[in-house]
Amino acid sequence: MTQRTGADTMFDALYAGGARICFANPGTTELNMVSALARHGGIRTVLSLFEGVCTGAADGYARVSGQVPLTLLHLGPGFANGIANLHNARRAGSRIINLIGDHASWHLSYDAPLTSDIESLASPVSRRVIRMAQTSAISSDVADAFAATREAEGGAATLIVPTDVIDAASPAGSSSASDTSSAPEAISGWAGTKVSEAQIIRTAEQLRGAEETILLLGGNGLTEAGLKVGAAIADRLGARLLMEPYPAIATLGGGLPLIERQAYFPDDVIAQMGSAHVLLVGARMPISYFGYEGYPSQLVPEERLIRLAAPEHDVLDALNRLAAVLNAAPLAPAAFEPVATGTSVGDAPLSPASIVEELLSQLPEDAIISLEGSTLGGPWLKNAHRARRHRVMTNTGGAIGQGLPCAVGAALGAPQSRVISLQSDGSAQYTLQALWTMAREKLPLTIIIAANHRYGILQTELARASAPLDDEIIAGLTKLDKPRVDWVSLAMGYGVDALRVTSNAQLAQALRFGLTLEGPLLIQAELP
C-alpha cells in the first residue's frame, strides 16, 4: 500500500470542503501533488498551457457555479503569470483556492533560481496567504483557506505548499478521502452578510425624501430574483434601474426587467446620473475608471448617495426586505418575443451592431456570454434585454486576457449551457493558450473574435484627447495590421475549428454551425 503523504491529506480536506476541479500548470515542486491528485481521483484536473489561463478559468468557474475551484501553480514566477486574472477575480468576489508549490523549507536560504517572495506576490490578490509549516496542520490550513474565501465580498485564498511539508508522511489517523467528518462548511451557497434592520429602515426613510432616484445594482442583485424585486422597488419609487458597469455575472433577457448599464467615461456617467439620488445596492459608488483632468474621481456627490448594501452583503436579501418596508408589489411578467432571424442584411459588411443582431436571434436559452472588449461588449449589453434568458460575465478588474479563460471555466462550471465568448482581437492575444484547453476538453464554446486589427479602446481614448490617430508613432502603437493576425490559423493550430467571415450571411451560417457543435468553434469576424 502506498504511504499516504501530506498531499493526500490536503486533497482530502479540499475535497471535503467542496473543491471538485483543479486548473493546473504544475512544475517540479508540485509533482507529489500531481501524484496525490491521481491517487485521490475525485477532483477533476484541467491542464492549461499558461498560468493566466488557469486563474482566469478558475474565475469563470467560480462565477457561474458558486463552487470553489483550485489552481495549481509553480512557485512565485508561475503564480506571477496568473496574477492579472486573479486581480479580475478579486474584483468579482470569486472564491478560489490557489495552491503554490515552493522549495523545501531547508532549501530556501540557498536562493535557488526559482526562489521568490511568494507572499508579496500573492497578498494583493488574496484574502489570506497561508504558508504551510507542518504536515500535522494541513487540514487546519485548508479550513482557514476556505474561511478566507468568505471574507468581505469573497475572494481567493492562497496556500503556499513547501515540498518538505507536502511530501512528508501523513500523521497517523489523518482523514482519508471518505472521511469528511472534519470538513469545513461547504460554501457554494454563500451570499454575504445580512444588512441590519436599522439600515433597511434608514434607507427607506432616505428614499422617501428623494425626488429622483436611481437604483444601482450589483452582486446577487443581478440575478433573476434580484432584478425582479429591484424593478418592483424602482416602480414603487418612480426610479431608474441601473447595473454596475462591470458586474461579475448578470442574468439578462427573456422578459426580465430592462436594466441600464452605468456608463464608462466620466462625462457620460455624470450626465447619466443627473441630479438623482443613487441607491447603492451591492454596487460600488460611481467613480471615474481613470483620473481625467477636469473631472472628479467620485462622480456622484456624497450627499446624493444612499447606501443600502455593499459588495460584501447579501444584496438579494436586502432588496427583499426593503421592498417589504416600501410595500413594493411584484410586477407582472413582461411579454417577450425572441428576435427574428435574418434581420441583418446578408451581403452587407459586418459591423459590431450586425454581429450583435445576429447573435440576438440565435442565442440559445440559458447561454453564458463572456465579454472582453468594448467593440462587442458595449453593443451587447445595450441590447441584451432583447435576447433569450442568459448570463453575462464582464471584465471586472480591467486586467486584459480574461475573456477566453473565463469562458473555459464557465463551460466547465455550467456544462448544460452553451458558452459564447465575445472577444476583441487585441485582448485575446494575452491568453490565446486557452484555445488549446478548449480543444482538449471538447468544450461547447463558440468564440466570436471582433477582428478590427487595432487597440480600439486606446484609439477611442486618444481621439477624446484630440490626438492624431494617423501619426506614425501613435498608429504604430495602436494598430495591429502589420501583419494582420490570422485567427483561423492560430485556432486550428491549437486544435479548435475556425471560420473567417466577412458578411452577415456568412456570420449567420457560421453561428448556426458553431452553436450546435459538440466542441469549440472560433469565428473570426472581419470588421472594416
Mean pLDDT of 493-503: 97
201 shares a domain with 162:
no
Last residue of a domain, one of 148, 167, 186: 167
134 shares a domain with 40:
yes
pLDDT for residue 187 is more than 50 = no
What total of structural domains would you count in the chain? 3
Q: How far is CA 71 from the centre of its chain?
A: 15
Residue 399 lies in a domain: yes
Residue 65 lies in a domain: yes
The model's pLDDT over 220-276, given as tens digits with 9 standing for 90+, comes to 999 999 999 999 999 999 999 999 999 999 999 999 999 999 999 999 999 999 999
pLDDT at 341: 77
End-to-end CA distance of the chain: 64
Residue 446 lies in a domain: yes
235 shares a domain with 122:
no
Scan for cell 456570420, then name that residue: 507
161 shares a domain with 65:
yes
274 shares a domain with 239:
yes
396 shares a domain with 506:
yes
Residue in 34, 81, 39 with CA at minimum distance from that of residue 56: 81
What is the chain's mean pLDDT, rounded? 94
pLDDT for residue 8 is more than 90 = yes
The model's pLDDT over 70-93, given as tens digits with 9 standing for 90+, comes to 999 999 999 999 999 999 999 999
- Contact between 20 and 411 (Cβ < 8 Å): no
Would you give the DSSP letter of residue 14? H
CATH number of the domain that 210 lies in? 3.40.50.1220
Peptide bond into 311 cis (omega under 30): no
Query: What is the domain extent for residue 482?
Result: 352-526
pLDDT at 186: 45
Give the integer Cα–Cα distance in Å for 162 and 178.
Answer: 25
Q: Is the pTM higher than 0.75?
A: yes
Torsion of CA 161, 165, 169, 171, to 10 degrees: -100
Residue 335 lies in a domain: no
CATH number of the domain that 457 lies in? 3.40.50.970
Last residue of a domain, one of 326, 361, 380: 326
pLDDT at 176: 47
With bands split at pLDDT 50, 70 and 90, how would you rate the model's confidence at 185? very low
Residue 479 lies in a domain: yes
The contacts of residue 352 (CB under 8 Å, 6+ apart) are 375, 376, 379, 450, 527
Comparison of pLDDT for 340 and 69, the residue scoring more: 69
403 shares a domain with 256:
no
Residue 79 lies in a domain: yes
The contacts of residue 127 (CB under 8 Å, 6+ apart) are 148, 149, 151, 152, 154, 155, 156, 157
Residue 179 lies in a domain: no
With bands split at pLDDT 50, 70 and 90, how would you rate the model's confidence at 179? very low
pLDDT for residue 20 is more than 80 = yes
253 shares a domain with 212:
yes
78 shares a domain with 10:
yes
311 shares a domain with 360:
no
Residue 400 lies in a domain: yes
Give the integer Cα–Cα distance in Å for 512 and 489.
Answer: 21
Give the integer Cα–Cα distance in Å for 185 and 2.
Answer: 30
pLDDT at 344: 61
360 shares a domain with 482:
yes
306 shares a domain with 228:
yes
